[in-house]
Amino acid sequence: MRRCHTKDWARLKIGEKGSARGGICAIVKLVSAKQLVIVGGGFAGLAALSRSAGRGLDITLIEPHEGTTMIPALPDVTGGFLAPGALHTSLKDVLPARARHLKAAALRVDVGARVVETTAGAVPYDYLLLSSGSRTAPAAAPPQPYMHYLDRLADGRRLYDAWRARLAAPAARVARAVIIGGGYTGLEVARNLAAAATRADRAAEVTVIEIASEFLGFLPPARRAWVLAQLEGAGVRLLSATKVQAYEPEGVALSSGVTLVDPLCVVCTGSRSALPEVPADWPRLSDGRLCVEPTLQVPGAPTVFAAGDAAAFPDGHGGYLRKAVNFAFYGGRCAGRNIVRHARAKPLRPFRPFDLGWVIPLHDRAVGQMLGRFWIQGGLPMRLHYFMCGYRKQGAPRRALFSRVFKLPDATGARQTKENQQ
Ligand SMILES: Cc1cc2nc3c(=O)[nH]c(=O)nc-3n(C[C@H](O)[C@H](O)[C@H](O)COP(=O)(O)OP(=O)(O)OC[C@H]3O[C@@H](n4cnc5c(N)ncnc54)[C@H](O)[C@@H]3O)c2cc1C
């Protein structure tokens, strides 16, 4: 017997010729289609969408933005090395047939009523995927006009405009940036801001504040020294064992007693889950991530799944997978596939994450570890970073990132690596 496809419904609707059986099949399908609601159209949400679309589910994507952003390349936007538009893909261009975009934010999940409450009203679901990612943990202080976060495209654009304005200001006004948090995002932003100052031929003071006694304590000493040399070589000042005492209107007061006056300040102090309100008895980590079963189901809620930064999935070494594009993308695909299997009463499959590795991108070079054992540094890991991120996005971001793969100054990166290894 011929399988009933979504195309049958489309054909019936637009009045093209179709078989009677196809038409009946489409009507039955329309009436019986289960509602899949996906919260968040990032890497995980879109991967789940492409995996579940056209398989008998009626899909609603709840996403407050018109498009999806290539988040890992946001630091490149802050320094003006990638145009903001290059990181943006309109959801209209990637949404499969029979999936709709509700431009709204999810506020609360009501499991009893099986609805997601949103800023645009309640949306009923049979299956729910929570893939709303994470956001920078806000500073425990009233916001100041000079404070920036780097979570979404608009943040990258705002930061770029603010830094560009400072670089263009009269020399009497110091172009000063302070980055709070010396993790990989903070260091990458610092390196990009310093590179933008070099490109503008303008002296700048870029400082990174880190509360721990050393930067990147998880790296072996030689790798750490290499990263710090890259930053210091670019004029970035690194202050470890230092914390922010207060965000004053005139600047950032540090625990060392120094106040950095009139700064542009970027808060990069780790992230928290951006989940809507969920039942209090769902297990979560301290950063808000939902603990999930091997199938990515939420324990005790078999029709609710979580993936990407919204989910906490064991890494097999006593911890949880780090927040990364690779795990979000493949987790989203696994969740999408399992939702379809559940709807078809088939056994679900466990998520089996494969860790390709990671890199710490530093504008034009990087350090990283592949397959958990091979260290690479210089231009190659930077190219891999752009290639892997671009591979997992569609449209303009893929083109922009692939073009960065080829535009990086190869020789400089390679030569620098050798010099620093000596
Ligand atoms: C500055 C920065 C640099 C990074 N660099 C790297 C890197 O180099 N390599 C790497 O692997 N990873 C990197 N990451 C991490 C990586 O970007 C994330 O792990 C990945 O984006 C997670 O994908 P996701 O689909 O879970 O969430 P996201 O891609 O963040 O997508 C979540 C989506 O949910 C939407 N959303 C949020 N709240 C709601 C709501 N209430 N209702 C509806 N929708 C909502 C958001 O608008 C967003 O579109 C970086 C992150 C940042 C912030």
Residue spans of the domains in the chain: they are 6-136+271-343, 147-267, 357-421
Backbone angles phi, psi at 274, to 5 degrees: -100, 25
Instruction: Give me the CATH code for the 147-267 domain, please.
Output: 3.50.50.60
| Per-residue exposure over 290-313, b if at least 16 CB sit within 10 Å of its own CB, e if not | bbbbebbbbeebebbbbbbbbbbb
- Report which protein residue has its CA nearest ligand 1's atom 51: 72
CA-to-CA dists, residue 69 to 113, 174, 398, angstroms: 32, 32, 11
Q: How far apart are CA 154 and CA 393, in angstroms?
A: 19
- How many CA atoms within 13 Å lie on the side-chain side of 311? 37
| Per-residue exposure over 193-228, b if at least 16 CB sit within 10 Å of its own CB, e if not | bbbbbeebeeebbbbbbbeeeebbeebeeebbebbb
Q: How far apart are CA 342 and CA 69, in angstroms?
A: 30
- Report which protein residue has its CA nearest ligand 1's atom 11: 324
pLDDT score recorded for residue 13: 34
Query: Is the CB of residue 133 below 6 angstroms from any atom belonging to ligand 1?
Result: yes
Q: How far apart are CA 36 and CA 129, in angstroms?
A: 8
Query: Is the CB of residue 42 below 6 angstroms from any atom belonging to ligand 1?
Result: yes
Of the chain, the end-to-end C-alpha distance in Å amounts to: 69
What kind of fold does domain 6-136+271-343 have according to CATH? FAD/NAD(P)-binding domain (3.50.50)
Structure tokens at 140: 């425990």
* Ligand 1 centroid from CA 135, angstroms: 8
Same fold yes or no, 6-136+271-343 and 147-267:
yes
Residue spans of beta strands (DSSP E) within 161-235: 175-180, 204-209
Amino acid at 381: P
* Ligand 1 centroid from CA 287, angstroms: 15
pLDDT score recorded for residue 396: 66
For the chain (422 residues), the mean pLDDT of every run of 10, in chain order, is 36 38 48 89 96 95 94 92 88 89 98 97 98 92 93 95 95 92 96 96 96 96 96 97 95 96 95 96 97 98 98 95 95 98 98 93 92 90 83 69 68 38 33
Helix (H, G, I), strand (E, B) or coil at 254: strand
The atom number, within ligand 1, closest to the CA of 151 reads: 53
CA-to-CA dists, residue 330 to 17, 337, 353, angstroms: 39, 10, 7
Q: How far apart are CA 372 and CA 366, in angstroms?
A: 16
Helix (H, G, I), strand (E, B) or coil at 268: coil
